Chain A
Amino acid sequence: MIARLIARDVRRGFTGTSWLPIAFFVLVVALMPFAVGPDAKLLGRVGAGVLWIAALTAALLPIERLVEPDRANGVLDQLMLHGVADEAVAAAKIVAHWLTFGPLLLIAAVPGAALLALNGPTFVGAEVALAVGTPGLAGLAIAVAAVTAGLPRAGSLAGLLLLPLAVPLLIFGAAAAADRNSSALMLEAAVSLLLTAGSPFVAAAAFRASRT
């Protein structure tokens, strides 16, 4: 059932609007040279941080379709009746969400890095940092989507919830991209691991609380 659920969510992601956050990501990155000017040195210095800010804002876009449709349609209830633990459902959703979001983001970071004139080592560092951080971001997105599911104006509320919680990822992710020899990457990995491992439990508690 878990494998079927992951396959279904991945299919829904790709047949739906999984390209939208990615297009948004590239667009936010493309705005940066317009905002601060085309100075390659300046862009190179802030570039890794810009990639992360773009990734965070892009992660907000799909939140309303991650959990709410399945809650409203009774799919979460039926999964429980089929004996699937809510935690397992949430974990499957995190895996599926990452599969439709993480790899595409890593690909979109290539033109993104070119737009920001990142040099080779910084580009590689940014890709590694994004690869390490996106599972945590996916976990956070599912947890926030579950907590806000069914609420009016859930999208805006989700932004207020997700962005502050993603600050540690942003700090260590951007630092890891800028300097690969620092311990920032290890700290980022620790934060990402904590978010990925903790989110299924938060999301499952939210699933249970939403059953009325």
Chain B
Amino acid sequence: MTVLLRFEDVSLRRGGRLLFEGLDFELRPGEALQVAGPNGSGKSSLIRLAAGLLRADRGRIQRPSLALADDNLALDRELPLKRALGFWGGPTEPAMDALGVTHLADVPVRYLSSGQAKRATLARVAASNAALWLLDEPLNALDTDGIARLSRLIDDHLGEGGAIVAASHQALAGHWRQLELGR
């Protein structure tokens, strides 16, 4: 079976502080990994490392094409949501539908609330067709309906042979392998 994401003996140092070392794990299709740990333990850094936006001090990382949802919206604020999502390509309509933001299609991105913006970020990932999703604090600012929709989306993605790494200090619904940082 193919491996979607592989960390081999990965160490990361940030601002002179060792966040983690000798990190080894593999993620196969259909698997979900939750990165947990207290504030400042390196959850977001691990996500950015997995995305290739940071370089490891040591070790090797093997990654497929992936999609990332973090604090950065990466959508043009002056455009209506649908056009802003359209810039990144992929099937935007089903993704907007899945996250319940279809009624916001014509609303400029700058008017979205933080919860709606989080849904829009997740819709960008859902539309991406990438096998691996990296979600940094996906539950932040989401209401109960948003959390339920995200859970369904995650289940569907895993069912289709995708894999997910989510950094969160809150419990996530479903079966997640745990990776505890900062101990």
Contact = CB atoms under 8 A, between A and B. Distances in A.
Partners in one complex: yes
B112 interface: no
B76 A12 contact: yes
A14 to B, nearest CB: 12
Contacts of B144: none
A8 B88 CA distance: 11
A73 B72 contact: yes
Given A8-B87, A15-B78, A212-B54, A81 B70 contact: no
Interface string B55-87: 000000000011110111111111000000001
Interface of A is mostly: helix
A78 B88 contact: yes
Contact of B72 (A4, A8, A74): A74
Nearest to B63: A81
B4 interface: no
A80 interface: yes
A82 interface: yes
A75 B78 contact: no
Contacts, number: 44
A87 interface: no
Contacts of A4: 87
A75 B88 CA distance: 10
B76 A81 contact: no
B51 interface: yes
B59 to A, nearest CB: 18
Interface in A58-108: 72-75, 77-78, 80-83
Contact of A83 (B65, B72, B75, B77): B65
A1 B89 CA distance: 9
B78 A78 contact: no
A189 B73 CA distance: 40
Interface of B: 48, 51-54, 65-68, 70-78, 87-89, 124
Given A77-B72, A212-B54, 8 more contacts: A8-B76, A8-B87, A72-B72, A74-B70, A74-B74, A77-B68, A81-B67, A81-B68
